[in-house]
Amino acid sequence: MSAVVKIEPRELDSFSGYTDETEAGSGATNSSFAPMVKFSNDHRYVLRDGTELPHDKKYIVAEIRRCVVKWPADREQPPEKEFLPLGARWPDLAARNEATPKDEWVVGPDGVPKGPYEAERQVLLLEEKTMTPYLFVTQTGGGAKAVSDLARQTEMTQNIYCKPVIPVVTLKTAMWSPRFKKLRPDFHVERHVLLSGDAKPVLQEVERPSLQEELKDKIEY
């Protein structure tokens, strides 16, 4: 079972299948409609313009994606992104960077040159009440931990429920480095919902299975 549930496009009406792509291949990407969210150095979830997403709102996790990013020497140019299929292992980025000519290396945040390849994780979030989309993007270790924990917890929950449930989360923080008092992002799972229906999919609340159902066994007293 996959770690997360991907909500596939459904032919609901004239909105489904809308695209700005041209035959030449240019145009918007699948997630370009969603404003990018980053976890800032002062431990906030912020948009590009600095707007902070509130911690008390709930977000449906619609999708998790992984990709390899290749940064150009000119940071004004967009990076190349290679998305990994579900279940695919990460390539050896250390070896890939080492094999890259030094004139293609980039300057890191610490001012030290580094290889251009980097692992990126993305989480597509839908604000629960308005369905406003946001795309959380991270290339940090703390961000990787947050996304990995969310994916593994969702996979375990799907196995318990025996249904492709998806989590509803709030945006929290967790300790990452006690020594430097550094926090990391944390997707706190509030509950799980199920996307169901063929013609008009709806979100259904899901009740937690009984202990007997979780253990898949009958408890004798």
So where are the chain's domains?
36-215
User: Helix, strand or coil for residue 145?
Assistant: helix
Q: What is the pLDDT of residue 81?
A: 94
What would the pLDDT profile of 104-157 be if each residue is shown by its tens digit? 999 988 889 999 999 999 999 999 999 999 999 999 999 999 999 999 999 999
Q: How far is CA 104 from the centre of its chain?
A: 28
The answer to whether 16 touches 8, Cβ cutoff 8 Å, is no
pLDDT at position 194 is: 87
Residue-averaged pLDDT of the chain: 82
Q: What is the pLDDT of residues 29-71, one digit of tens each?
A: 455 579 999 999 999 999 999 999 988 899 999 999 999 999 9
CA–CA separation, 25 vs 31, rounded Å?
Answer: 16
Q: Is the entire prediction scored with pTM above 0.95?
A: no
pLDDT above 90 covers what percent of the chain?
A: 60
**What pLDDT is stored for residue 191 in this prediction?**
92
Query: Tokens in use for 140?
Result: 């940090």
Kindly report the number of other CB atoms within 10 A of residue 161's CB atom: 17
Scored b (16 or more CB within 10 A) or e, 103-131 reads: eebbeeeeeeeebbbbbbbbbbbbebeee
Reported confidence tier of residue 21, pLDDT bands at 50, 70, 90:
low
